[in-house]
Amino acid sequence: MRLSISNPGVELQAWLVLSRVAALPTVWSNCLAAWVLSGGGSATRMVGLTLGASLLYVGAAWLNDFFDAEFDRQRRLARPLVSGWIAHDAVGKLGALWLVLGAVLLVVSGAHLAPVFLVLTLAMLYDRFHNVTKLSPVLLGLCRFFLYVAVASAAPRGVTGFLLWCGIALGAYVGATGHVAQNSAARDLIQRWPLFLLGAPVVLALLANRGEYQQPAIWLSFVLALWVLPCLRHALRGENSNRKLTVSGLTAGIVLVDLLATGGESPTTIVIFGLLFVLCLALQRYAPDT
């Protein structure tokens, strides 16, 4: 399968846009957070889980374009598949392959079958129906929640109660981000009550952390709020709103949600989350979601 363009830089960018790599660092941060919250363990196993989650994500991204081809021909002509750079059938077949390989690698790396199956199923439901249902943000949030559960199931402590609460808070945040994305092209005022779900990680952190964990939770909550609130301004300006800019900012904020969940467990994890956050912003500039 080849692109019908000769510029290697443009070709690479097309592949990255198709794969929606701008949000891929948030998948890695999800895996890292779930792993840390569940006791860590073998670095090799962690790499396998992260690679599996990455393949599953890329496969879902490709199938998203495969199912959206007709919709994109009418509204998003810049998408690689619509512009004729990549064959439609090949994208569908390879997308399904990446999706299955990712799920298999997650299970081989120790993740329990049930949450992996749920991530796979929810991703496919989102890809197929997200343009025809208002519940698509819920599907996105559930995908991230069950990714947490899948990764944690392979870690030493397994799926703990606190991890489930962190997964719920993450799912609420991602669902609210999906709500903005779903209405990014609309001209009317966005429904505001789902935006309060963006505060779920902060509420959980302030309620759940006591003693020595309280101060880091307060500081990291402040960092997340300091990032999210300015992002929301772009979505709440009425006719002058730039909701795509809000979606980009909130997507990068997923890394900060994961950092908050871990409570800055160690200087090393803080640095890793920081690098993932910067990488997400950089990829948004080079390969933005069109």
Residue 93 CA: distances (Å) to CA of 9, 11, 13, 84:
25, 20, 21, 17
The reported pLDDT for the residue numbered 39 is 92
The reported pLDDT for the residue numbered 77 is 59
The reported pLDDT for the residue numbered 107 is 98
Q: How confident is the model at residue 32 (pLDDT cuts 50, 70, 90)?
A: very high
Q: Residue 40 in contact with residue 161, Cβ under 8 Å? A: no
Q: Distance between CA atoms of 102 and 248, rounded to whole angstroms? A: 25
**Which residues fall within 8 angstroms of residue 7, CB to CB, at 6 or more apart?**
none
The reported pLDDT for the residue numbered 264 is 83
Q: Residue 40 in contact with residue 120, Cβ under 8 Å? A: no
pLDDT digits (tens, 9 = 90+) for 39-90: 988 899 999 999 999 999 999 999 988 887 676 666 665 676 666 667 778 8
Phi, psi of 158, rounded to the nearest 5 degrees: 70, -155
Phi, psi of 121, rounded to the nearest 5 degrees: -65, -45
Q: Distance between CA atoms of 177 and 254, rounded to whole angstroms? A: 9
Task: Work out the angle between the directed axes of helices 267-286 and 243-262 (0-180°, nearest 10).
Answer: 160
Show me where the domains of the chain are located.
Answer: 16-286
The reported pLDDT for the residue numbered 3 is 45
Q: Residue 9 in contact with residue 280, Cβ under 8 Å? A: no
Q: Residue 67 in contact with residue 59, Cβ under 8 Å? A: no
Q: Distance between CA atoms of 168 and 175, rounded to whole angstroms? A: 10
The reported pLDDT for the residue numbered 190 is 78
Superfamily of domain 16-286 in CATH is UbiA prenyltransferase (1.10.357.140)
